[in-house]
């Protein structure tokens, strides 16, 4: 992970996050105006693109089919699914996300009357399936993202993948 340092008026360094693109060699990254971080961990990524980089970062939300239970898969089915996800994770420009637990184990937090209130379950019930995980993918077109999404094992099992471009909007 790289960062650009800038001196403040007080003379202390601030780190600006950025995500260099492997597609553009020897190009200086731009500073991320959306936030200044005091330190960066290996997992921190800036959603901004480099100047001149035409690729788009996508988040692919993976929905498992309704009633999906990985424990119900036989050994051959499990191996096929594992190999499918391994192939997705080995795809260039893919960064795998953490798997999400079952929706039934979720806790939703809201603020009501100035107080945090938690309730069991997901924030939104998804008809036809549940959000099971995500991946990040950098591609030159929506078509590339669609092609990758169609290879995700959840799709073949009756689930779906929602593709969202990652854009700074704040």
List CB contacts of 161: < 8 A, sequence separation 6 or more. Answer: 60, 61, 62, 63, 149, 150, 152, 154, 155
Cβ atoms of 62 and 135 within 8 Å: the answer is: yes
Angle CA(165)–CA(168)–CA(170) in degrees, nearest 5? 140
Residue 53: the pLDDT is 61
Cβ atoms of 129 and 10 within 8 Å: the answer is: no
Q: According to CATH, where is 3.30.70.1060 located in the chain? A: 56-165
The whole-angstrom separation of Cα 159 and Cα 134 is 13
Read out DSSP for 144-168?
Answer: HHHHHHTTSHHHHTT-EEEEEE---
Instruction: Return the CATH architecture of domain 56-165.
Output: 2-Layer Sandwich (3.30)
Would you give per-residue pLDDT tens digits along the chain (170 residues)?
Answer: 333 333 334 443 333 344 444 443 443 444 443 333 334 333 334 444 444 467 899 999 999 998 888 899 999 999 999 999 999 999 999 999 988 888 889 999 999 999 999 999 888 877 778 889 999 999 999 999 999 999 999 999 999 999 999 987 77
Residue 16: the pLDDT is 39
pTM to 2 decimal places: 0.65
- Judged on CB neighbours under 10 Å (0-12, 13-18, 19+), 46 is buried
48-to-45, 70, 110, 167 alpha-carbon distances in Å: 9, 36, 29, 7
């Amino acid at each position: 992970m790289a960062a650009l340092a800038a001196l403040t008026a007080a003379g202390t360094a601030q780190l600006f996050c950025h995500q260099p693109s492997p597609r553009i060699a020897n190009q200086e990254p731009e500073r991320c105006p959306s936030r200044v971080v005091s330190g960066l961990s290996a997992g921190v990524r800036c959603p901004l693109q480099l100047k001149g980089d035409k690729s788009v970062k996508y988040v692919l939300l993976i929905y498992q089919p309704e009633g999906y239970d990985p424990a119900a898969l036989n050994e051959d089915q499990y191996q096929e699914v594992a190999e499918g996800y391994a192939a997705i994770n080995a795809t260039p420009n893919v960064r795998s996300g953490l798997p999400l637990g079952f929706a039934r184990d979720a806790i939703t937090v809201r603020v009501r009357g100035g107080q945090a209130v938690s309730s069991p379950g997901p924030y939104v019930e998804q008809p036809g399936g549940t959000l099971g995980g995500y991946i990040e993918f950098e591609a030159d077109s929506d078509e590339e993202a669609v092609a990758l999404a169609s290879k995700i094992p959840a799709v073949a099992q009756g689930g779906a993948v929602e593709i969202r471009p990652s854009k700074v909007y704040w």
